[in-house]
Structure formats: structure tokens, C-alpha cells
Structure 1
């Protein structure tokens, strides 16, 4: 596992660094709530991006690492946790009954972000992506499986604990590997992100500098 995690983290960091020069301020709209993926994330801390880095830049890296960890846990579940694998497959079948999944297949830089911009009073109303993804807009779900026995529930809970333990193990390994790349990630942020932030601050300072205000205060 160690070699696989090491190489995959390095590849994801390389992909993030290749994306970073294309980042521009305002790519994503302002959030009305904290991002549960990025806020307090040990991944962001390990990468050295916890302070003075725009959220969109953090999010693009955090989602890459989340996908990596999820893939490792999925592989572990597929091999070692048959009851949990069955429940996940049943859930995937229920999700597949929906006719549209707007949040699937997005680039990691956009995964997990709100799909719909805030509505404006003067804009014509057509539809929202969230509405299209609602179950009532989809095909009827498949028939529910028979209820689980008490023993099956206990066994699934035990397998969920094993999956959580493996996720924590993989997450710790990812953070360790990320810390080894933090210097070049911070250097890239300084090269490609900070100039845009400084330009925004300069524009803001110009906009706030009204000719009607007294000078020399």
C-alpha cells in the first residue's frame, strides 16, 4: 500500500500543480457556508495550504485526495468486507434509478461545490440542477430488499468500523506524503495565486479610494 499511496499522491499533486496556473479569481461564486471538505482538513494542513490560500485552490487539492482515499477504501471493501459491499451495491442501484446526476463526472476542482448559482430577482426561472437530481424527477426506485436481521446489522456495523479504520490509515499516509510536497506546492501558490490576490487587493484599494474623501488623513 505504501508505494501505491506514495506514487498516487505524487501524481495527484503533479496534476494539481498543472491545473494551478489556469486558476483565476472568481472561478467559483462566494460560499454562504463553510466547506465541510476543506474547513479544518488535515489534508490542507499537511499540504501547507491552510492559511492565505483561496478556497477554490484548497478545494481542488482536497477533492483529489478525497477521491484517492475513497478509491483505496472501495478496493479494501471490495476485497475484505462482503456485507458492506453488498449494501453499497444496493445503494448504487437505487441511485442509478435517477435519470440525471449533475454532480457526477466533474473535474476535481469543481467536485463538491454548489451546482446552482444564487437566484437573482430579475432573472427568468427555468430550472436548477438540484431539482433535476431530485428523486421525484427520476424513475421509480427498485424494490426494497428484505430487512436485515439483527446479526446482519451487527456484522455490517463491524465492517463499517473496519472500513473507517482503513480510511483513517490511508488518510494518515496521504497526509504524510503530502507534507513532503508542501514546499513545492507553496512555491506554486506564491508564483501563480498570490499575484492574482494582490491584484484584487489593489483593485479594491483603488475602488475604495474615493476622490471625495479628504487626503492626507
Structure 2
């Protein structure tokens, strides 16, 4: 039996809540580019995860909810949009022909994030994961061209799929409103103490930039 949208959203939130206790603040250098999936996301607004919540925490939930919407749209497309489904099937077959697919099979916390770190000035990479994937992807034959009529029909079906995705997205946001209390309670329990500890450590390091143990005493 097909699960209802309410059940799928609830299960996605449950999975995020099980993962959240394992979250730790990132200690590496932050990225310059913003995450397009999370920036201004109505899903995160509905969940009550504002800009004061670390991006890693946001991304873990937004990606899981995106999967729910994607599955709903995929089912709608398979049942109602034959031209778009055929195009997606061809693209899927082309993707399977690629020998290197580093962006597939990632955990939700990493799905959609850049494959490579931000480059440092004066220290170029010898190679990048995304570059390797692009090089190998160029050897896979391109999809056959479409006629003008087929392109127009395909654009119409893409528009219908977008409209359906927006409708499902609005419904998902309405469902998420009922989960805000437990989402915010989990952030209070697992995230805020770690942020407070980081701020406390930063305050101590600013107040005492030098470790007094580094000095044996005054030098005459």
C-alpha cells in the first residue's frame, strides 16, 4: 500500500531526529558558495530551522524532505507525462553508462553539496572529483536530438511536473508545521549546547590568547 504524504514526511523527520545526535560542528574552513537547496527554503521555514541553525543541521532535513517531494513527482510523471518519462528514462540509462558517479549514493547529509573543497589561493588542485567525473562523462554519447514539436510538447509536460512539485511542496510545508515542536526540541537538546560550548571556548581563547604555561616566568 502506498504511504500517504503525511507518513512519508513523518518518517523523514524521524530519520533526521535519529541522525541529529551524531551531528558535530564543522571545524574545517567554511565554503564561500551558499547552498541553493537550503538558502531561503520554505521547507526549513516551515520546520522552524532559521538562519541561526548551522547549515549541516538544515541540510540533513531539507534533503530528506526533498526526497519525499521527488518521489511524489516521479510517481506523477510516470503515470501522466509519457514524453517527460521517456526523456528521464534515456537520461537514467546514460547515467548508468558512466563509469564514475561520485555524487550518487551519498548520505542525505552530503547529498547536493559540492564534491570538492573550496580552492585556496596559490595552491591549485592537481585534480578534482568533479573534474574527473566531467572528463569521463564526456565520453558517454549524448541523447538524440528532439524535433521542434517534441521540444514544445516536452516543455509543456515539464511545466506540469513543476506545477505538481510546487503543489506537493506546499502540502509538505503544511505537514511540517505539525512537527515544529519536536524539531525545535531536538535542536535545543543536541545543537545549541555544542554551539554554546564553541562560543565559550572562543571567548576563553580571546581573553587569554597565550597559554600561561608557555612562559616560565619574567625574563630579566
Provide TM-score, normalisation by structure 1: 0.87
1:181 corresponds in structure 2 to: 179
Bigger drift between 115-124 and 67-76 goes to 115-124
Give the C-alpha shift of residue 60 in structure 1.
Answer: 0.4
Counterpart Cα distance in 1 of 2:131 and 2:33: 20
Shift in CA distance, 210/81, structure 1 to aligned 2, threshold 3 Å: same
**Is the aligned partner of 1:128 residue 2:128?**
yes
Residue correspondence of structure 1 range 1-217 to structure 2 within 5 A? 4-26=4-26, 30-119=30-119, 127-134=127-134, 136-138=135-137, 140-142=139-141, 144-145=143-144, 147-210=145-208
Give the C-alpha shift of residue 113 in structure 1.
Answer: 1.3
Shift in CA distance, 191/38, structure 1 to aligned 2, threshold 3 Å: same
Give the C-alpha shift of residue 23 in structure 1.
Answer: 0.3
The root-mean-square deviation of aligned C-alpha atoms, in Å, is 2.4
Deviation string, structure 1 residues 164-217 (Cα, Å, up to 9, x no partner): 1110111011101111000110000000000000000011111111368xxxxx
Give the conservation status (yes or no) of the 8 Å contact 2:91–2:143.
Answer: no
Provide TM-score, normalisation by structure 2: 0.86
Give the conservation status (yes or no) of the 8 Å contact 1:17–1:188.
Answer: yes
Bigger drift between 115-124 and 50-59 goes to 115-124
Bigger drift between 83-92 and 174-183 goes to 83-92
Shift in CA distance, 143/64, structure 1 to aligned 2, threshold 3 Å: closer
Counterpart Cα distance in 1 of 2:110 and 2:183: 19
| Structure 1 unmatched runs, 5+ | 213-217
Give the conservation status (yes or no) of the 8 Å contact 2:63–2:109.
Answer: yes
| Structure 2 unmatched runs, 5+ | 211-220
